[in-house]
Structure 1
Amino acid sequence: MPEGHTLHRLARLHKRRYGGAPVEVSSPQGRFAAEASVVDGQVLKTAEAYGKHLFHDYGPAGVVHVHLGLYGTFGEAKLPAPEPVGQVRMRLVGRTHWTDLRGPTRCELLTEGEADAIKARLGPDPLRRDAKPELAWQRISGSRTSIAALLMDQSVLAGVGNVYRAEVLFRHGVAPMLPGKTLDRSLWDAMWADLVVLMREGVRTGRIDTVADEHLPEVTGRAPRRDRHGGEVYVYRRTGQPCLVCGTPVAFQELAGRKLYWCPACQPS
């Protein structure tokens, strides 16, 4: 599932390509046809991301809310737009580009109030300048749930997914199963600040890199990471491989239906 930096990149891209002008909106697949007809030809006021949610604001006509889920993707190119191929839920055609959305978990037209209600259910997003990390701390510090599970709870923290979860815990030497209420406040502040930096870099580059310079392949002589997700990481999807810091095999287990990775030596319980 795309993490928050991907949605913020998309919001910036769509705002740049389609914002401030009328947009042709259609649903070649048909599942979004009625809603698309309402905003078709309307001016896109802005596009913004909140956590893993994308919002296209068409003013009085409504707000298109997209959640990509596990399989949703956007594809785009310069005009002219070709005939739609496959199950295109929503197509946008602007002044210079076209964009197709396929396979999202959610693609719906909401009122401004309904969109605000979704945002209100989410925890603070490290990529938003209006984020209030204190709200996340209140939920974490009062919970017996493991910090690994809390970081993936979008009502606690919005936009953090499996990769950023695993990597920020490693970078700060935090055992994944540590109960939230036992986490030190200064450690949480450091983790939040680190997420802000890492995720902003993800927005800039379009990939997740968490490895310090001294552990990069060109410094240590190891082979670069080969993974469809890209980026140099410490523990994510490195089960059984040696930790880049201490050499201990990276551990793995299922937690709440998601895969969890950590180094038993660098993140002692």
Structure 2
Amino acid sequence: MPEGHVIHRLANTLNEDFRGKDLQVTSPQGRFAAEAALLDEHSIARAETFGKHLFVDFDIDHPEHIVYIHLGLIGTLRFEPLEDYWGQMRLRIATDTQAANLRGPQFCRLITDAEMQAIVDRTGEDPLRADARPAELWPRVKRSKRSIGSLLMDQKYFAGVGNIYRAETLFRLGVSPFAAGSSLSTELFDEIWADLVHLMRIGVERGRIDTVRDEHLPEAMGREPRKDDHGGEVYVYRRAGLPCYVCGAPIMEKVMEGRNLFWCPSCQQR
């Protein structure tokens, strides 16, 4: 499932390349045809992201005017040339030069302002949003007996944070993923939040997840660059059994709530 930086990049592109233009909106697959007909020949007023939820607000005078998209595990939203017309496209938003083609989403719905607000209200704090409220999230984390590794993956707490950012932030700060939220200090929570903001902003800028500090980059260590579908340089994610770049101990892997958790037992003692 795409992590939050990917969804923010999609919203940024929609705002930069599609907003304010007359658009051709269709549903080649047919499952969103009636809704697409309402939006056709209208323009996007704003695209906005909360965690992994993407909302595309159209300038139509209709109660349901917001396209709500959640990509889920297999969904994609790609910006492609007009001639790239392939696959099962649930939604196609086209300008004169390019199209935003949505395939295989978990959700693609036309909703009202109130329905959007209800989704936002049950979503946690997004490190990529300027209006995020970590001070309101902290008491909830402090009250929880769940592990910080579990809480970081809970979208009702940390919106947009996925498996990679979870593993990498905890490693970079030396935090055990098994430490209970209630055991964290205010200072440590602030460090976790600040590192998520830092790393996820890099993800938005580069379009990939890079978490490795300069002294551990391939050229600094004389090692081969990482080769993985997700791209970017990381410390522990998908490196089970390989030596830690910092201490040399083998990286560990364990399933936590249905997702593979990666960590260094030597470095992550906090």
TM bracket (short chain): over 0.9
User: Are 1:75 and 2:81 counterparts?
Assistant: no
- Distance in 2 between the 1:77 and 1:85 partners? 11
> Which 10-residue stretch deviates more, 86-95 or 247-256?
86-95
Structure 1 residue 247 displacement after superposition? 0.5
- Distance in 1 between the 2:54 and 2:114 partners? 15
Q: Which amino acid aligns with 1:204?
A: E
* Corresponding residue for residue 108 of structure 2: 107
Structure 1 residue 75 displacement after superposition? 2.1
Q: How does 1:151-166 map to 2 (within 5 A)?
A: 151-166=152-167
* Corresponding residue for residue 41 of structure 1: 41
Q: How does 1:34-183 map to 2 (within 5 A)?
A: 34-59=34-59, 60-61=61-62, 62-78=65-81, 81-82=82-83, 84-183=85-184
* Corresponding residue for residue 23 of structure 1: 23
Q: Deviations over 1:25-66 (max 9, x none)?
A: 111111111111121122210111110111100144410010
C-alpha spacing 1:177/1:25, structure 2 compared with 1 (3 Å): same
Structure 1 residue 95 displacement after superposition? 3.5
Structure 1 residue 113 displacement after superposition? 1.1
- Distance in 2 between the 1:75 and 1:191 partners? 31
- Distance in 2 between the 1:84 and 1:116 partners? 34
The 3-state SS of whatever aligns with 1:45 is: strand
Structure 1 residue 83 displacement after superposition? 6.8
C-alpha spacing 1:145/1:250, structure 2 compared with 1 (3 Å): same
- Distance in 2 between the 1:218 and 1:124 partners? 36
Structure 1 residue 96 displacement after superposition? 2.5
The 3-state SS of whatever aligns with 1:187 is: helix
Q: Deviations over 1:84-111 (max 9, x none)?
A: 3221110011143112110110111000
- Distance in 1 between the 2:179 and 2:38 partners? 49
The 3-state SS of whatever aligns with 1:152 is: coil
C-alpha spacing 1:115/1:214, structure 2 compared with 1 (3 Å): same
The 3-state SS of whatever aligns with 2:242 is: coil
Q: Deviations over 1:188-242 (max 9, x none)?
A: 1011111111111110000000000001110010111010100000000000000
Structure 1 residue 22 displacement after superposition? 2.2
Q: Which amino acid aligns with 1:128?
A: R
Structure 1 residue 82 displacement after superposition? 2.6
The 3-state SS of whatever aligns with 1:98 is: strand
TM-score, normalisation: structure 2: 0.96
* Corresponding residue for residue 200 of structure 1: 201
* Corresponding residue for residue 220 of structure 2: 219
- Distance in 2 between the 1:156 and 1:99 partners? 30
Does the aligned pair in 2 maintain the 1:123–1:135 contact within 8 Å? no
TM-score, normalisation: structure 1: 0.96
- Distance in 1 between the 2:242 and 2:105 partners? 34
Does the aligned pair in 1 maintain the 2:80–2:101 contact within 8 Å? no
Please tell me the root mean square deviation across aligned C-alpha atoms, in Å: 1.2
* Corresponding residue for residue 251 of structure 1: 252
